[in-house]
């Protein structure tokens, strides 16, 4: 068993209730965060991990209030730094199951550098990034995922920033698990949470989340029933990239090095693009698909195995101890060049 | 030292006994001056002398050869009595090229020994150093100093001409010619250097042979050449008996952490981003994984401190190290540790600033940053080591206090202590105070901010402890329960409580040791790396019959409880610092004493001579 395998022989049988803390939840009424909180609390019992071994770490922002509402260990830290805090915690306590809860501002703006580095190191942490394309806690400025031209309090004539695509960013950083889900699709969200939590290494799960106060219905393309039916592409391992209503099924296929949408009926089965989570290159193409030209993919974009940062470091520590024995400060102090002075006035 | 009579060929040269000597090796950054100085230091340690060193090198890794800013030097003072500093004025300067002469000559005492490598004084090097004419041709130089013009490059080549090395490789051994020569002048044993050569070049016998021959050639040159009229011995110093080793400040900080990890049985997580002059702590710790000290080379200074905080949250001891610019970036993180009330140790190896400043030069100007350099009321404990070896004890003490009081502790070392070395009496580690870490495991009556009545520390709970699941964070919290609170009175109470917790660390501070009379005309108060210079100057003033004492503060926040009383026992108080007056300001504010500062901010250690002058001046004012 590797030092990072969490869990115990006899894990108590939990229910959702066991993961609800005694604190009043203080998000705005109607906020998408409520659904996410409920889904997380509901999936926790499925992890099979004693709740005292679970830690939620967050930075600053609406999403970062999350740990207060989980009846686990929690640390609400400073803006953008949760991935770095989590890295230190994992190195100190590899037996703990660590979640990072962050948002588009916390994780991709002020904390973008830490996000880059936790992903490339592949620290064993599950990252939930709530993306609402707006700054909520500071009351409505544009975020790094806001669309160009977005009119907000700080951009009265429209944002001049080109937005970042969180999943393309994560894949570019070498993420070993990248997924996307939606706050209004509870079952899909629960499934994705389980997948992300079980991944070994850094799991990056983007949750499209509604800020009903400052950016209401920004994800309406996959909220509104008909639109969702028309545009949502559910990624499933081994299944072709098909979407749309039954009478208008469409396929995403590759033409040369470019993705393209065509009527499904025009594509022979053997020519369909079959989703493979282990194919990083394919995931990078899928991560860039978006309406109106393409569908909105949700699901697991990629899941691969790679060395876990703290496993490598702790294995080095074990190797050093097994080869040369545990450290002995008295021996170290007298190692190398020393000289003796035998009496005063030597 | 006076000029001896001209030597007579064939007559055994006179050997003169000295109390102490100050030597500086200076040359191009590619000339191996640091190595030369380190080897000379080891030889002097073997000879039983007390030693203090001052390496001084450019920030550029490979500065252009021959330039003024590419000059690298290594200074040391060694003596038969306590040596507190690397020395102010030089008894001997070895200049390997014109640039080194130009930069360092002004520090050589009149009549001092000046040894130059004539081969480097060609037109090109003279131009680069900005000499219109060869200074060695100026008779005034030989009148002012005991000038020895030695063709070290030529003599080096001659000694190894039959070896199969190219010209460049042969050239590079000339520093050992200088080392051999100066070793002869000061009667140093060559064995440690010969040992070193044997180990270093075990796999390349040609280099081993070359360096050995050149070292011996330099030594023999001193003995046989007719230009050196005398040479010197320095008796072993009176030092406490025991086993010694050379210790630099940064290694001592690292080893202090290893000792704390071993004693506390708690892993240490050290987060750092490489920065001069702190990087060698990270490198040193990374070599000692067996001690369960885990190092993270973080993506930036902020990640370095927050990773350490994450580790502390997990029940390990988080430590981060940097220099001033990095500490500035860590400010918000340190504030989180203040309010989360988690143990955290922050090493600041101070360097000359502001901004990038002079990265390889020393300074003491981050005291106010340590005390106040964060938003809001954010008190932390501040400690400062006095000597390179003291860094070991201060690092250990920082961990002990951080864990006992659940508080961040800043350790203010500096570039001078970090790279300087001293003979260090190896302690018996069993005599170090225990670090007794207690995690709370009992859920009965648990609250996250329930305080220990003696220390005001809140309980440290390791995640993974059943029944104690709780949440903490940067938002103000209600005392005892730890729940989020915006209550005005609670905030006022918490501000005072965090401050009081730091004040209570005063109960850990032993009585202040006073160097000199318990009452008198003048008290000199110092902190950090100026210990040696202050002590040397105060002892000289005392020898001259002055009523002067000194104290050196290891605890800068909180200050020692007996300090106010001590300050009032002297008519005047002088505070020498390598800043524009920071501790002096604190002392004036805290104790309403009319302390005056002595301040030089040159990127160099204070000279004991200049402190002595200041002492004499202050005492003179009384009359």
Strand partners for B240: none
Q: CB distance B472–A75 less than 8 Å?
A: yes
Check whether residue A253 and residue A196 sit in a common domain.
no
Q: CB distance A96–B464 less than 8 Å?
A: yes
Identify whether the C-beta of residue B52 lies closer than 8 Å to the C-beta of residue B37: no
Check whether residue A265 and residue A291 sit in a common domain.
no
Residue of A nearest to B320 (CA): A88
Check whether residue A70 and residue A191 sit in a common domain.
yes
CATH number of the domain encompassing residue A92? 3.40.50.970
Of B237, B306, B470, the CB nearest to A85: B306
Eight-state DSSP code of residue B135: G
> What CATH number is given for B245-431 in this structure?
3.40.50.970
With beta carbons under 8 A apart, name residues in chain A contacting B464.
Answer: 52-53, 73, 93, 95-96
Q: What is the 3-state secondary structure (H, E, C) of B388-434?
A: CCHHHHHHHHHHHHHHHHCCEEEEEEEHHHHHCEEEEECCCHHHCCC
The pLDDT tens digits for B562-571 are 999 999 999 9
Tokens 């090109």, located at residue: B124
With beta carbons under 8 A apart, name residues in chain A contacting B271.
Answer: 88
In angstroms, the separation between the Cα of residue A238 and the nearest Cα of chain B is 37
Residue A263's domain comprises 240-274
Supply the pLDDT for residue B621: 72
Supply the pLDDT for residue A7: 47
Residue of A nearest to B426 (CA): A333
Task: Tell me how long chain B is.
Answer: 623
Identify whether the C-beta of residue A250 lies closer than 8 Å to the C-beta of residue A242: yes
Mean pLDDT of chain A: 95
In angstroms, the separation between the Cα of residue A74 and the nearest Cα of chain B is 4
In this complex, is the C-beta atom of A342 within 8 Å of any C-beta atom belonging to chain B?
yes
Identify whether the C-beta of residue A127 lies closer than 8 Å to the C-beta of residue A88: no
In angstroms, the separation between the Cα of residue B90 and the nearest Cα of chain A is 26
DSSP H helices in chain A: 33-43, 82-92, 104-105, 112-121, 166-172, 186-198, 225-231, 280-287, 309-324, 329-333
Among the listed residues A80, A20, A344, A30, the one whose alpha carbon sits nearest the alpha carbon of residue B238: A344
Element (DSSP H or E) covering residue B209: helix B205-224
Among the listed residues B23, B48, B28, the one whose alpha carbon sits nearest the alpha carbon of residue B38: B23
With beta carbons under 8 A apart, name residues in chain B contacting A338.
Answer: 243-245, 426
Q: How confident is the model at residue B5 (pLDDT cuts 50, 70, 90)?
A: very low
Supply the pLDDT for residue A10: 67
In angstroms, the separation between the Cα of residue A310 and the nearest Cα of chain B is 10
Supply the pLDDT for residue B7: 38
Tell me the pTM. 0.91
- Whether residue A325 lies inside any domain: the answer is no
Check whether residue A159 and residue A285 sit in a common domain.
yes
pLDDT at A142 over 90: yes
What homologous superfamily does CATH list for B14-234?
Answer: Pyruvate-ferredoxin oxidoreductase, PFOR, domain III (3.40.920.10)
**B208: number of Cβ within 10 Å:** 17
Strand A296-303 versus strand A232-235 pairing type: parallel
Q: How confident is the model at residue B505 (pLDDT cuts 50, 70, 90)?
A: very high
**Spatial separation of the C-alpha atoms in residues B531 and B52, rounded to whole Å:** 12
**Spatial separation of the C-alpha atoms in residues B281 and B253, rounded to whole Å:** 7
What is the count of residue pairs from A and B with beta carbons less than 8 Å apart? 214
Of A89, A325, A341, the CB nearest to B310: A89
The pLDDT tens digits for A81-140 are 999 999 999 999 999 999 999 999 999 999 999 999 999 999 999 999 999 999 999 999
Q: CB distance A88–B271 less than 8 Å?
A: yes
Residue B385's Cβ-count burial label (10 Å; 0-12, 13-18, 19+) is buried
**Spatial separation of the C-alpha atoms in residues A127 and B177, rounded to whole Å:** 61
Tokens 């902190």, located at residue: B527
In angstroms, the separation between the Cα of residue A124 and the nearest Cα of chain B is 14
In angstroms, the separation between the Cα of residue B101 and the nearest Cα of chain A is 33
Fold exhibited by the domain B520-621? Rossmann fold (3.40.50)
**Spatial separation of the C-alpha atoms in residues A272 and A241, rounded to whole Å:** 7
Supply the pLDDT for residue A4: 45
Check whether residue A257 and residue A287 sit in a common domain.
no
Identify whether the C-beta of residue A311 lies closer than 8 Å to the C-beta of residue A275: no
Check whether residue A264 and residue A201 sit in a common domain.
no
Eight-state DSSP code of residue B365: T
Q: CB distance B298–A74 less than 8 Å?
A: no
- Whether residue A212 lies inside any domain: the answer is yes
Determine the straight-line distance between the first and last CA of chain A, rounded to whole angstroms: 57
**A312: number of Cβ within 10 Å:** 11
Answer with the one of A274, A295, A330 that is the final residue of a domain. Answer: A274
Q: Which of A7, A50, A329, A346 to mutate to test the interface with B (most CBs of B within 10 A)?
A: A329
B203-221: average pLDDT: 96
Of B241, B303, B312, the CB nearest to A342: B241
Q: CB distance A78–B332 less than 8 Å?
A: yes
The answer for residues whose C-beta is within 8 angstroms of residue B299's C-beta and 6 or more apart is: A84, A113, A114, A116, A117, B273
Of A52, A85, A345, the CB nearest to B466: A52
- Whether residue A319 lies inside any domain: the answer is no
Among the listed residues B607, B611, B610, B526, the one whose alpha carbon sits nearest the alpha carbon of residue B86: B607
The CATH 3.40.50.920 portion of chain B extends over 520-621
Of B290, B464, B471, the CB nearest to A74: B471
In this complex, is the C-beta atom of A63 within 8 Å of any C-beta atom belonging to chain B?
no
Supply the pLDDT for residue A343: 65
Hey, which bits of A236-305 come out as E strands? 242-243, 250-255, 258-263, 296-303
State the sign of the Cα–Cα–Cα–Cα dihedral B336, B341, B346, B350. positive
Q: CB distance B310–A88 less than 8 Å?
A: yes
Of A77, A336, A338, the CB nearest to B473: A77
In this complex, is the C-beta atom of A258 within 8 Å of any C-beta atom belonging to chain B?
no
Tokens 């500086």, located at residue: B24
Q: CB distance A338–B318 less than 8 Å?
A: no
**Spatial separation of the C-alpha atoms in residues A192 and A299, rounded to whole Å:** 7
Q: Is the peptide bond before B558 cis (omega within 30 degrees of 0)?
A: yes
Q: pLDDT exceeding 70 applies to what percent of chain B? A: 97
Supply the pLDDT for residue B56: 87
**Spatial separation of the C-alpha atoms in residues B390 and B530, rounded to whole Å:** 13
Q: CB distance A327–B474 less than 8 Å?
A: no
Q: What is the 3-state secondary structure (H, E, C) of B599-619?
A: ECCCCCCCCHHHHHHHHHHHH
Check whether residue A148 and residue A260 sit in a common domain.
no
Q: pLDDT exceeding 90 applies to what percent of chain A? A: 93
A23-50: average pLDDT: 96
Q: Which of A92, A93, A121, A174 to mutate to test the interface with B (most CBs of B within 10 A)?
A: A92
Q: CB distance A332–B307 less than 8 Å?
A: no
The pLDDT tens digits for A59-93 are 999 999 999 999 999 999 999 999 999 999 999 99
Domain total of chain A: 2
Check whether residue A21 and residue A106 sit in a common domain.
yes
Q: What angle do CA A309, A312, A316 make, to 5 degrees?
A: 140
The answer for residues whose C-beta is within 8 angstroms of residue B24's C-beta and 6 or more apart is: B73, B74, B75, B90, B92, B93, B94, B104, B107
Supply the pLDDT for residue B57: 81
- Whether residue A31 lies inside any domain: the answer is yes
Identify whether the C-beta of residue A99 lies closer than 8 Å to the C-beta of residue A66: no
In this complex, is the C-beta atom of A125 within 8 Å of any C-beta atom belonging to chain B?
no
- Whether residue A5 lies inside any domain: the answer is no
The pLDDT tens digits for B365-389 are 999 999 999 999 999 999 999 999 9
With beta carbons under 8 A apart, name residues in chain A contacting B299.
Answer: 84, 113-114, 116-117
In this complex, is the C-beta atom of A119 within 8 Å of any C-beta atom belonging to chain B?
no
- Whether residue A339 lies inside any domain: the answer is no
With beta carbons under 8 A apart, name residues in chain B contacting A77.
Answer: 306, 309, 336, 473-474
Largest Cα span, chain A: 101
Supply the pLDDT for residue B120: 96
In angstroms, the separation between the Cα of residue B154 and the nearest Cα of chain A is 33
Q: pLDDT exceeding 90 applies to what percent of chain B? A: 89
- Whether residue A261 lies inside any domain: the answer is yes
Identify whether the C-beta of residue B135 lies closer than 8 Å to the C-beta of residue B106: no
**B537: helix, strand or coil:** helix
The answer for residues whose C-beta is within 8 angstroms of residue A71's C-beta and 6 or more apart is: A18, A19, A20, A21, A22, A51, B469
The answer for residues whose C-beta is within 8 angstroms of residue B257's C-beta and 6 or more apart is: B268, B270, B285, B293, B319, B395, B396, B399
Residue B492's Cβ-count burial label (10 Å; 0-12, 13-18, 19+) is exposed
The pLDDT tens digits for B536-576 are 999 999 999 999 999 999 999 999 999 999 999 999 999 99
**Spatial separation of the C-alpha atoms in residues B432 and B397, rounded to whole Å:** 9
With beta carbons under 8 A apart, name residues in chain A contacting B472.
Answer: 74-76
Strand partners for B548: B522
With beta carbons under 8 A apart, name residues in chain A contacting B428.
Answer: 330
Of A76, A91, A337, the CB nearest to B269: A91
Q: CB distance B473–A68 less than 8 Å?
A: yes
**Spatial separation of the C-alpha atoms in residues B320 and B282, rounded to whole Å:** 9
Check whether residue A22 and residue A161 sit in a common domain.
yes
**Spatial separation of the C-alpha atoms in residues B492 and B488, rounded to whole Å:** 6
The pLDDT tens digits for A283-342 are 999 999 999 999 999 999 999 999 999 999 999 999 999 999 999 999 999 998 888 888
Largest Cα span, chain B: 91
In angstroms, the separation between the Cα of residue A40 and the nearest Cα of chain B is 17
Residue B357 CA neighbour count, 13 Å, CB half:
26
Conformational region of residue B318, where left means phi above 0, alpha means psi within -120 to 50, and beta covers everything else: beta
Token duo for residue B112: 């001092």
Check whether residue A250 and residue A172 sit in a common domain.
no
Identify whether the C-beta of residue B575 lies closer than 8 Å to the C-beta of residue B526: yes
With beta carbons under 8 A apart, name residues in chain A contacting B294.
Answer: 91-92, 313-314, 317
Identify whether the C-beta of residue B321 lies closer than 8 Å to the C-beta of residue B409: no
The CATH 3.40.50.970 portion of chain B extends over 245-431
Identify whether the C-beta of residue B33 lies closer than 8 Å to the C-beta of residue B72: yes
pLDDT at A11 over 60: yes
Residue A76's Cβ-count burial label (10 Å; 0-12, 13-18, 19+) is buried
Tokens 């282990």, located at residue: A278
Check whether residue A101 and residue A119 sit in a common domain.
yes
Tokens 């953008």, located at residue: A80
Token duo for residue B525: 């108060």
Check whether residue A20 and residue A144 sit in a common domain.
yes
Among the listed residues B23, B29, B88, B72, the one whose alpha carbon sits nearest the alpha carbon of residue B49: B23
Strand B50-56 versus strand B71-79 pairing type: antiparallel
Q: CB distance A329–B262 less than 8 Å?
A: yes
pLDDT at A14 over 70: yes
Residue A180's Cβ-count burial label (10 Å; 0-12, 13-18, 19+) is buried
């Amino acid at each position: 068993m590797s030092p990072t395998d969490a869990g115990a022989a006899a894990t108590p049988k939990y229910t959702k209730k066991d993961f609800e803390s005694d604190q009043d939840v203080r998000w705005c009424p109607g906020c998408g965060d409520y659904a996410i909180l409920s889904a997380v609390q509901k999936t926790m019992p499925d992890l099979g991990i004693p709740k005292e071994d679970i830690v939620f770490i967050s930075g600053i922002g609406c999403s970062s209030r999350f740990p207060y509402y989980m009846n686990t260990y929690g640390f609400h830290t400073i803006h953008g730094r949760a991935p770095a805090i989590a890295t230190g915690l994992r190195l100190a306590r590899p037996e703990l199951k660590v979640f990072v809860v962050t948002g588009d501002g916390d994780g991709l703006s002020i904390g973008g550098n830490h996000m880059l580095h936790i992903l490339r190191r592949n620290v064993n942490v599950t990252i939930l990034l709530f993306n609402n394309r707006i700054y909520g806690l500071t009351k409505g400025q544009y975020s790094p995922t806001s669309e160009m031209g977005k009119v907000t309090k700080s951009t009265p004539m429209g944002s001049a920033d080109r937005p970042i695509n969180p999943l393309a960013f994560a894949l570019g950083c070498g993420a070993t698990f990248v997924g996307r889900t939606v706050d209004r699709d509870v079952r899909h969200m629960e499934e994705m949470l389980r997948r992300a939590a079980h991944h070994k290494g850094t799991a990056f799960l983007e949750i499209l989340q509604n800020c009903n106060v400052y950016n209401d219905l920004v994800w309406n393309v996959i909220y509104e029933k008909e639109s969702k039916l028309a545009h949502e592409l559910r990624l499933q391992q081994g299944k072709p990239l098909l979407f749309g209503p039954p009478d208008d099924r469409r396929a995403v296929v590759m033409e040369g090095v470019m993705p393209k949408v065509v009527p499904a009926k025009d594509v022979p089965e053997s020519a369909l693009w079959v989703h493979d989570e282990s194919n990083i290159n394919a995931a990078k193409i899928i991560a860039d698909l978006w309406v109106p030209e393409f569908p909105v993919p949700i699901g697991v974009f990629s899941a691969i195995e790679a060395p876990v940062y703290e496993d490598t470091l702790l294995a080095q520590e074990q190797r050093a101890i097994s080869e040369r024995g545990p450290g002995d400060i008295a021996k170290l102090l007298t190692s190398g060049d020393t000289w003796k002075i035998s009496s005063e006035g030597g | 030292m006076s000029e001896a009579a001209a030597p007579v060929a064939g007559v055994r040269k006179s050997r003169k006994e000295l109390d102490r000597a100050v030597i500086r090796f200076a040359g191009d950054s590619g000339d191996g001056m640091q190595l030369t100085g380190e080897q000379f230091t080891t030889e002097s340690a073997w000879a039983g002398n007390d030693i203090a060193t001052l390496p001084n090198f450019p920030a550029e890794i490979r500065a252009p050869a021959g330039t003024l800013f590419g000059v690298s030097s290594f200074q040391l003072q060694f003596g038969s009595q306590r040596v507190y500093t690397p020395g102010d004025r030089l008894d001997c300067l070895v200049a390997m090229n014109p640039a080194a002469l130009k930069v360092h000559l002004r520090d050589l005492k009149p009549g001092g020994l000046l040894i130059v490598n004539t081969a480097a004084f060609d037109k090109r090097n003279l131009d680069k150093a900005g000499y219109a004419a060869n200074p060695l041709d100026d008779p005034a130089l030989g009148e002012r100093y005991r000038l020895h013009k030695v063709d070290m490059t030529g003599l080096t080549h001659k000694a190894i001409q039959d070896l199969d090395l190219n010209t460049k490789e042969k050239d590079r051994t000339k520093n050992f010619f200088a080392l051999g020569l100066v070793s002869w002048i000061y009667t140093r044993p060559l064995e440690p250097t010969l040992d070193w050569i044997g180990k270093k070049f075990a796999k390349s016998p040609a280099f081993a042979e070359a360096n050995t021959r050149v070292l011996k050639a330099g030594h023999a040159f001193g003995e046989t050449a007719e230009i050196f009229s005398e040479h010197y011995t320095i008796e072993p110093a009176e030092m406490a008996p025991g086993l010694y080793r050379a210790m630099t400040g940064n290694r001592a900080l690292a080893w202090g952490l290893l000792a704390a990890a071993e004693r506390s049985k708690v892993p240490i997580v050290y987060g750092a981003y490489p920065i001069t002059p702190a990087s060698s702590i990270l490198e040193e710790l990374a070599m000692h994984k067996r001690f369960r000290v885990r190092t993270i080379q973080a993506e930036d200074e902020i990640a370095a401190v927050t990773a350490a905080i994450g580790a502390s949250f997990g029940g390990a001891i988080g430590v981060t190290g940097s220099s001033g610019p990095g500490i500035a970036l860590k400010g918000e993180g340190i504030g989180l540790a203040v309010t989360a009330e988690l143990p955290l140790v922050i090493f600041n190896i101070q360097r000359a600033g502001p901004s990038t400043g002079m990265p390889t030069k020393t300074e003491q100007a981050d005291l106010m940053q340590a005390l106040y350099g964060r938003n809001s009321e954010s008190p932390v404990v501040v400690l400062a080591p006095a000597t390179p070896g003291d860094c070991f004890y201060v690092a250990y003490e920082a961990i002990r206090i951080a864990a006992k009081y659940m508080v961040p502790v800043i350790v203010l070392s500096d570039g001078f202590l970090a790279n300087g070395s001293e003979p260090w009496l190896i302690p018996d580690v069993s005599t170090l105070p225990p670090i007794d870490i207690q995690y709370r495991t009992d859920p009965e009556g648990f609250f996250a901010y329930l305080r220990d009545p003696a220390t005001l520390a809140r309980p440290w709970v390791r995640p993974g402890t059943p029944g104690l699941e709780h949440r903490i964070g940067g938002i103000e919290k209600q005392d005892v329960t730890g729940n989020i609170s915006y209550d005005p009175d609670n905030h006022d109470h918490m501000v005072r409580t965090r401050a009081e917790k730091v004040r209570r660390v005063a109960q850990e501070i032993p009585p202040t040791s006073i160097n000199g009379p318990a009452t008198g005309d003048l008290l000199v108060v110092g902190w950090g790396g100026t210990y040696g210079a202050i002590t040397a100057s105060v002892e000289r003033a005392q020898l001259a019959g002055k009523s002067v004492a000194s104290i050196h503060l290891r605890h800068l926040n909180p200050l020692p409880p007996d300090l106010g009383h001590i300050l009032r026992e002297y008519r005047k108080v002088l505070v020498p610092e390598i800043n524009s007056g920071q501790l002096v300001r604190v002392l004036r504010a805290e104790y309403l004493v009319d302390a005056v500062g002595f301040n030089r901010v040159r990127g160099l250690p204070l000279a004991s001579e200049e402190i002595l002058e200041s002492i004499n001046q202050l005492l003179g004012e009384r009359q």
